[in-house]
Chain A
Amino acid sequence: MHCVVTGGNVKVLAKAIHSLSRIGDELYVEPQEDGLALRSVNSSRSAYACFLFAPLFFSRYSVPNRNNFRCKMAIKSVQAVFRSLASLEKTVEKCHIELDEQKNRLTFTLHCKHGLLKTHNLSFQDSESLQAVFDKDSCSNVFRAQPRLLVDTVMHFPPSLEEVTVSVSDERMWVRNHVEEEAEQSKAMLTELCLASDEFDHFAIQAHSSVTFCLKELRGLLVFAESTGLPVSIYFDEPGSPVVLSVTDSVLEGNFVLATLTDDPGLRKNSSRRGHTQPPPPPDDFMNDDMDSYLIAMDTSIVPGPSTAGPPTPPLAGSTCSKRPVATNHRTRIHSEEEEEGEEEGDSEKAEDSDRPPNKKFRSLFFGSVLPPSSQMNTQPVVSQEVLASDSEDDSQDE
């Protein structure tokens, strides 16, 4: 394979690789007849992303006839090729990408200003084809929005937040942070954003549903969408089936497929609490915001106050706010103390460990080891349509 990217497209390519790095640690490269496919998948296989750059994206694009080569490499090493993202447009005039199958080498050559020539020879491993099974066109809910709208939406959520829940009705979309357990809810800050349908370029609803997925990957795609100015389409069905985020223009297509949480009871409870399926208009119900019950409960309780370091009593299981305000308050007190102690640790953990597999409740996307239809290549085991155990398979082929 030999292809050449010039001008502003170098940055588009770099941004695509950058947003793929939010998904997984490896970049899967597959030169196809219909373009260069770059893919990534996360370790728990609950998120998958693919960019396909059409031959017209390149000023030169040639793939060998024996069109079945594919490989993978550490995405970090490819990111390193385009390290100075900000200045890329100004410094790089032309980028050659060459694949040398004999030497197991993918070479990026950047022709830069001032006659500087940067050559990066990256080693790679052979890989299976990576495909997520999804069909966005059959999704019942379809939206399209300018990247700005989504950027402004996710901005309301803290960077540490892992998952958001998106709910839709005929006229509105609600985005809120997903809180794991009921216990955590008592201390977690809840944020909900309500968007009207006419803020979207396209808003087609067939099912009033609600899905929860990881925010990190959405942010990853937005990095790309915002820099290229491409609108983002969102496709989803019901909880448990993947949400597809996609960007397209005439020479490229990007699809991010994210698993959603399977229907969990907590979600339903949330729904009824927030009343998201048919929420009442925000009322000016000042006098309805009645806190008396809490106060009465507390002044008669034996609950230690915030300044009294009393021995913590085990929380009463199963109590809810409305029925047992005393217990509820007690429970929140315990949590607040724990939180104070554990918070710093928790934060740093989140920052460092952002690549840990997402929650187990996410169903792994079903990937098939799809071989090209007219395959003459026999190095890949012919075990298609199975959940991949790619890593073990590949080890034998490593150098």
Chain B
Amino acid sequence: MKFRGKIVDVACLNHFSRVVTTISKLTKMCVLRLTPDNLFFVLSGKVGNGGVSMWCELSQANFFDEYQMEGVSSEDNEICLEVTPENISRALKTVQNAKAVKVKLTKKHCPCLTVIAELPTLSSINRVVTHDVPVDVIPQRLWHEFKEPDMPDFDVSIYLPPLKTMKNVVDRMKNLSNFLVIEANLNGEMNLKIETDLVSVTTHFKDLGNPPWGDDASQDAGPSQSRDPDTMAEARVDIRRLQQFLMGQQVTPSRAMCNIVHQRVLHLILLHEDVSLQYFIPAVA
């Protein structure tokens, strides 16, 4: 089991750092899966994380100038680690102006992802900073828990409004209530609603558009086709989970959408060039 990657391009380094920072805002611990082509940050929905799950996929070639890995075996050419994204984020943040950054799996006092950066100096010798981020190697028999989640059998899929706007609204609603109802229909309309003894607030978004899911969408025969376009599907969620998701966004994604399984789950998807992030928030009664 071996892994070593090198980032030279400063834009790539910056981008990678932002992705990891986004992840770190979403979860304290997660699983990092390394394959020959991709990196995945995975959180499987457990009660401990409020039932939230996450799947973030990066294409290594778009970040790393060099990338070598050797998995457990040639059939299972993968490495699966439990990491603290906050630590990796911090390590990457302090080396933003580095000439080159290497990330490798090392065996120190414990298994570590080691981030080594050469920092520019006025002297002839580079300043070198090494961050050893402890990780846990996840045994192969547990890998099945960290597979890509299935596309839920959603009732409505809709593009999200600008995340900044959504964040502002959700932040204020958070001051007023602990739960929020998100509802959307196939007419491109989405509402965010809260209701308390003191106040009720509804924010109406319209003309958002509904993504065309082809045959690969999970809904068999597509209930959406037979669905009344004005009927709302809704999910009541813990407002903190949604706020956390919106707060963590470091870049404006090129595509942002959400799928709602009526009263079951809110599935948020962000696509940005070579990175995709999926986030599942369970609905509460």
- Listed in ascending order, the chain A residues whose CB lies under 8 Å from chain B are 152, 155-156, 158, 185-196, 198-199, 273, 282, 286-287, 289-295, 298-299, 301, 303, 305-308, 321, 328-329, 332-333, 336, 340, 343
Stretch in contact with the other chain, from B122-130, B147-155, B208-216, B238-246 = B122-130
Other A-B contacts than A186-B110, A189-B84, A303-B139, 12 sampled, CB-CB below 8 A, are: A185-B109, A189-B131, A189-B134, A190-B132, A194-B130, A196-B121, A198-B124, A287-B2, A291-B2, A295-B1, A305-B142, A329-B136
Measured CB to CB, the closest approach of chain A to B46, in angstroms, equals: 7
Q: Which residue of A lies closest to B46 (CB)?
A: A307
CB of B275 within 8 Å of the partner chain: no
Q: Which residue of A lies closest to B31 (CB)?
A: A306
Find out whether the CB atom of B125 lies under 8 angstroms from the CB atom of A306.
Answer: no
Measured CB to CB, the closest approach of chain A to B117, in angstroms, equals: 9
27 A-B contacts, Cβ less than 8 Å apart?
A152-B119, A155-B94, A187-B110, A188-B134, A189-B131, A189-B132, A189-B133, A190-B130, A191-B130, A193-B129, A193-B130, A194-B128, A286-B68, A287-B2, A291-B2, A294-B111, A294-B137, A298-B139, A306-B82, A306-B138, A307-B44, A307-B46, A307-B145, A308-B142, A321-B110, A336-B136, A343-B28
Q: Which residues does chain A contribute within 8 Å of B132, judged by CB atoms?
A: 189-192
Find out whether the CB atom of B125 lies under 8 angstroms from the CB atom of A291.
Answer: no
Measured CB to CB, the closest approach of chain A to B110, in angstroms, equals: 5
CB of B263 within 8 Å of the partner chain: no
Find out whether the CB atom of A307 lies under 8 angstroms from the CB atom of B127.
Answer: no
Q: Which of B31, B106, B127 has the most chain A CB atoms closer than 10 A to its own CB? A: B127
Find out whether the CB atom of B109 lies under 8 angstroms from the CB atom of A289.
Answer: no
Find out whether the CB atom of A273 lies under 8 angstroms from the CB atom of B108.
Answer: yes
Find out whether the CB atom of B129 lies under 8 angstroms from the CB atom of A196.
Answer: no
| Known contacts A299-B140, A343-B28, A289 near B108 by CB under 8 Å | no
Q: Which residue of B lies closest to A186 (CB)?
A: B110
A291 to B2 CA separation, bound complex (whole angstroms): 6
Indicate with 1 or 0, residue by residue over B186-226, a CB within 8 angstroms of chain A CB atoms: 00000000000000000000000000000000000000000
Q: Which residues does chain A contribute within 8 Å of B119, judged by CB atoms?
A: 152
CB of B15 within 8 Å of the partner chain: no
Find out whether the CB atom of B128 lies under 8 angstroms from the CB atom of A282.
Answer: yes
Measured CB to CB, the closest approach of chain B to A175, in angstroms, equals: 9
Q: Which residues does chain B contribute within 8 Å of A194, judged by CB atoms?
A: 127-130
Q: Which residues does chain B contribute within 8 Å of A273, judged by CB atoms?
A: 108-109
Q: Which residue of B lies closest to A291 (CB)?
A: B1
Measured CB to CB, the closest approach of chain B to A370, in angstroms, equals: 42
A289 to B68 CA separation, bound complex (whole angstroms): 12
Q: Which residues does chain A contribute within 8 Å of B28, judged by CB atoms?
A: 340, 343
Partner of B105, one of A185, A199, A291, A303: A291
Measured CB to CB, the closest approach of chain B to A156, in angstroms, equals: 5
Count of CB-CB pairs between chains A and B under 8 Å: 135
Q: Which residues does chain A contribute within 8 Å of B145, judged by CB atoms?
A: 305, 307
Indicate with 1 or 0, residue by residue over B157-177, a CB within 8 angstroms of chain A CB atoms: 000000000000000000000
Find out whether the CB atom of A289 lies under 8 angstroms from the CB atom of B106.
Answer: yes
Find out whether the CB atom of B125 lies under 8 angstroms from the CB atom of A198.
Answer: yes
- Listed in ascending order, the chain B residues whose CB lies under 8 Å from chain A are 1-4, 28-29, 31, 44, 46, 48, 68, 72, 79, 82, 84, 87, 90-91, 94, 104-112, 116, 119, 121-134, 136-142, 145
Q: Which of B2, B106, B107 has the most chain A CB atoms closer than 10 A to its own CB? A: B107
| Known contacts A286-B68, A305-B138, A306-B138, A294 near B107 by CB under 8 Å | yes
Q: Which residue of A lies closest to B71 (CB)?
A: A295
Q: Which residue of A lies closest to B81 (CB)?
A: A291
A280 to B94 CA separation, bound complex (whole angstroms): 24
Q: Which residue of A lies closest to B127 (CB)?
A: A195
Q: Which residues does chain A contribute within 8 Å of B68, judged by CB atoms?
A: 286
Measured CB to CB, the closest approach of chain A to B85, in angstroms, equals: 12
Q: Which residues does chain B contribute within 8 Å of A294, judged by CB atoms?
A: 1, 107, 111, 137
Measured CB to CB, the closest approach of chain A to B133, in angstroms, equals: 5
Find out whether the CB atom of A299 lies under 8 angstroms from the CB atom of B2.
Answer: no
Q: Which residues does chain A contribute within 8 Å of B1, judged by CB atoms?
A: 290-292, 294-295
A17 to B154 CA separation, bound complex (whole angstroms): 62
Partner of B125, one of A196, A303, A307: A196
Measured CB to CB, the closest approach of chain B to A399, in angstroms, equals: 47
Q: Which residues does chain B contribute within 8 Å of A289, judged by CB atoms?
A: 2-4, 104-107
A295 to B82 CA separation, bound complex (whole angstroms): 13
Q: Which residue of A lies closest to B84 (CB)?
A: A189
A394 to B132 CA separation, bound complex (whole angstroms): 48
Measured CB to CB, the closest approach of chain A to B232, in angstroms, equals: 35
A191 to B95 CA separation, bound complex (whole angstroms): 12
Interface pairs A-B: 9 shortest CB-CB: A196-B125, A305-B142, A291-B1, A190-B132, A298-B139, A286-B4, A198-B123, A194-B128, A189-B87
Partner of A340, one of B29, B133, B137: B29
Measured CB to CB, the closest approach of chain B to A350, in angstroms, equals: 15
Find out whether the CB atom of B127 lies under 8 angstroms from the CB atom of A306.
Answer: no
| Known contacts A190-B132, A295-B1, A332 near B110 by CB under 8 Å | yes
A308 to B46 CA separation, bound complex (whole angstroms): 11
A199 to B125 CA separation, bound complex (whole angstroms): 9
Q: Which residues does chain A contribute within 8 Å of B82, judged by CB atoms?
A: 306, 336
Find out whether the CB atom of A286 lies under 8 angstroms from the CB atom of B2.
Answer: yes
Q: Which residues does chain A contribute within 8 Å of B134, judged by CB atoms?
A: 186-189, 332
Q: Which of B82, B91, B129, B145 has the most chain A CB atoms closer than 10 A to its own CB? A: B129
A386 to B84 CA separation, bound complex (whole angstroms): 48
Partner of A295, one of B108, B122, B137: B137
Q: Which residues does chain B contribute within 8 Å of A305, judged by CB atoms?
A: 138-139, 141-142, 145
Q: Which residues does chain B contribute within 8 Å of A336, judged by CB atoms?
A: 29, 82, 136
